[in-house]
Amino acid sequence: MSQIIASFPPARSTYIRDHILLAALGSLLLSGVLFYVGNPHPWTGIVGSVLAIGARGAYAMSEQLGMVWKLSDTKLIGPDERVIPLANVADARTMLSALQVVTQTGDKYLIKYKADPAAGASHILKTRDAALSARS
């Protein structure tokens, strides 16, 4: 019987920070496009981007913040009860605020909105290595 040794809940502050960054980048891009095409009101790109990203972020927040991954001594368990045996984990790496787990078959899973994705990746890989050395 395997026991849960760690969990990876999303960080609310990271979720909010990522959406603010997305809104800022969207504002620059949309305003730039509107300016380039000669729109007399390029400032509307800022308003539109902030409203769109803000609405999407507010709508999806409770669902996204409820996606908790769990790590046992033998497997990684996703929020939808998807089970990834640690023996099948080829790599775990960071992608901005997310932690990407790659399996031996090339499947990729994102553990999103981590405050410290590098620490999570390291923890998964160390647990995998310990599980593999215990088997041999």
Taking only the tens place, the pLDDT of each residue in 67-124 is 999 999 999 999 988 999 999 999 999 999 999 999 999 999 999 999 999 999 999 9
Per-residue confidence at 63, pLDDT binned at 50, 70, 90? very high
Residue 8, both tokens: 């990876």
Non-local (6+) Cβ contacts of 28 within 8 A are none
Residue 88, classified by CB atoms within 10 Å of its CB into exposed (0-12), middle (13-18) or buried (19+), is middle
pTM above 0.85, yes or no: yes
